[in-house]
Amino acid sequence: MILDLFRLDGKVAIVTGAGRGIGAASAIALAECGCDVIISSRTTSDLDQVAAAVRALGRRASVAALDMSDLAAVDTLAAIAREEYGRVDVVVNNVGGAIPLPFFDTTPEYLEESFHFNVSTAHALNLVTVPLMLEGGGGSIINISSVMGRVSGRGYSAYGSAKAALSHYTRLVAHDLSPRIRVNAIAAGATATSALEFVTQTPELKQMMEDLTPLHRIASPQEIAAGVVYLASPAGAFLTGKVLEIDGGTDAPSLDFNIPDL
């Protein structure tokens, strides 16, 4: 049956930024499909809630409260995978983000920080998990990018550039790691995560975001997680080096900060 292609029984996934939002939804969705998960974020209490949901599904969950901006933290995740599970099959690089800023407020230091948090963290984790994936015969890496890596708008120079880099990094590394490891990304549109609470709790901003999205709504984290499952599972076995756009048809920023001309 076609649904069997979405099963991940016996597989192990690492999901970063998994305390809330897309990361939490992805970890739970992978568990629903049979995956054990190793989850990380900065906040232990958030991770404990996600781990409880995973265990309620009959799957194993390991919690690692880490600050992924410290690239040495990735060694902990690889060690958990090796010591507690003996394998890793799926890596979901969900750490990232950057606050939009006007041009003159976007310092070189802030630009470098954005690249570090959105791209270097993913590469660091991939470096330490790919050997374990290869030992197990292969695997799937999924990078959570953004529609802002493709469209243009004022204030997004740091965030959009970093996400564009992550998307193209996906295409390049897919060649480096083929044929045994598939590497894909999801370019997410506006999604109802904690990072967007300032929008979703402000009626005017929420209406703007919905109006500027062709489907006239904001995605749920589960809708992005469904894409993660597809890319991680045998259902997506013939995809690598691709950026799956789950963005409601967005062709322009769905939030206009009204930054004036210089």
**Would you give the DSSP letter of residue 235?**
G
Burial category of 208 from C-beta neighbours within 10 Å (exposed 0-12, middle 13-18, buried 19 and up): middle
Residue pair 57/84 in contact (Cβ under 8 Å)? The answer is no
Residue 30 parent element (H or E) = helix 21-32
* Spatial CB neighbours of 47, under 8 Å, sequence gap ≥ 6: 18, 19, 39, 40, 41, 63, 64, 65
The residue from 85, 156, 159, 230 that is catalytic is 159
Residue pair 138/180 in contact (Cβ under 8 Å)? The answer is yes
Task: Give strand ranges (E) for 42-196.
Answer: 61-65, 90-93, 139-146, 181-188
Residue 159 is a catalytic residue: yes
Catalytically annotated residues = 159
